[in-house]
């Protein structure tokens, strides 16, 4: 199974799908879910994008170190994952808590976000 070390040497489970020549689309799942939550969307998105799904720390097949986990920590993990794959800019789609991670990414490193899609996202005030 594919794992990538990120911030604090935590290993995140990830999957790539779709066209290798297309702009990346990162799908960030909600709390208490994993990459399998995108099973019906991946085939459609993969026709047009290079799709990256991953399990956030503490979820699915990724490492589960002792918390607490913050949105900033999840965002650092995502930046480290993008850096590891040499992705300088991507479309970002976040569902629920994944949308909060996506929003934090867009606010802290806007140059990494081509387009931002938020689905059923709760706004968490920035510090």
What percentage of the chain has pLDDT greater than the value 70? Answer: 95
Rounded-to-integer distance, Cα 110 and Cα 107, Å = 6
Tally of structural domains, the chain: 1
Instruction: Give domain status of residue 125, yes or no.
Output: no
Q: Which residue has the tokens 């789609």?
A: 93
Instruction: Give domain status of residue 126, yes or no.
Output: no
Instruction: Give domain status of residue 28, yes or no.
Output: yes
CATH number at residue 45: 3.40.50.1820
Give the pLDDT confidence of 25-73 residue by residue, as tens digits.
Answer: 999 999 889 999 999 999 999 999 999 999 999 999 999 999 899 989 9
Contacts of 95 (CB under 8 A, 6+ apart): 27, 28, 29, 30, 37, 119, 120, 121
Give the pLDDT confidence of 115-125 residue by residue, as tens digits.
Answer: 999 999 877 66
Instruction: Give domain status of residue 71, yes or no.
Output: yes
Instruction: Give domain status of residue 18, yes or no.
Output: yes
Task: Decide if 55 contacts 28 (C-beta within 8 A).
Answer: no
Instruction: Give domain status of residue 111, yes or no.
Output: yes
Could you tell me which residue, 80 or 32, shows the higher pLDDT?
A: 80
Q: Note if the pTM is more than 0.85.
A: yes
Instruction: Give domain status of residue 98, yes or no.
Output: yes
Instruction: Give domain status of residue 101, yes or no.
Output: yes
Structural domain boundaries enclosing 21: 3-119
Rounded-to-integer distance, Cα 115 and Cα 55, Å = 21
Strands 50-54 and 90-95 turn out to be unpaired
Q: What is the structure's pLDDT at 122?
A: 78
Rounded-to-integer distance, Cα 12 and Cα 6, Å = 7
How open is the CA angle 65-68-69, to the nearest 5 degrees?
A: 85
Q: What is the structure's pLDDT at 103?
A: 95
């Amino acid at each position: 199974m594919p794992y990538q070390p990120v911030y604090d040497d935590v290993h995140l489970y990830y999957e790539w799908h779709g066209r290798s020549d297309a702009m990346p689309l990162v799908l960030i799942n909600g709390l208490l879910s994993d990459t399998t939550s995108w099973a019906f969307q991946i085939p459609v998105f993969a026709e047009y994008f290079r799709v990256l799904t991953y399990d956030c720390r503490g979820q699915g097949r990724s490492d589960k170190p002792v918390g607490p986990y913050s949105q900033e920590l999840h965002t650092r993990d995502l930046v480290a994952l993008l850096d590891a794959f040499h992705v300088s800019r991507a479309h970002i789609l976040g569902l629920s808590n994944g949308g909060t991670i996506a929003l934090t990414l867009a606010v802290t490193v806007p140059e990494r976000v081509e387009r931002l899609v938020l689905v059923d996202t709760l706004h968490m005030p920035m510090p």
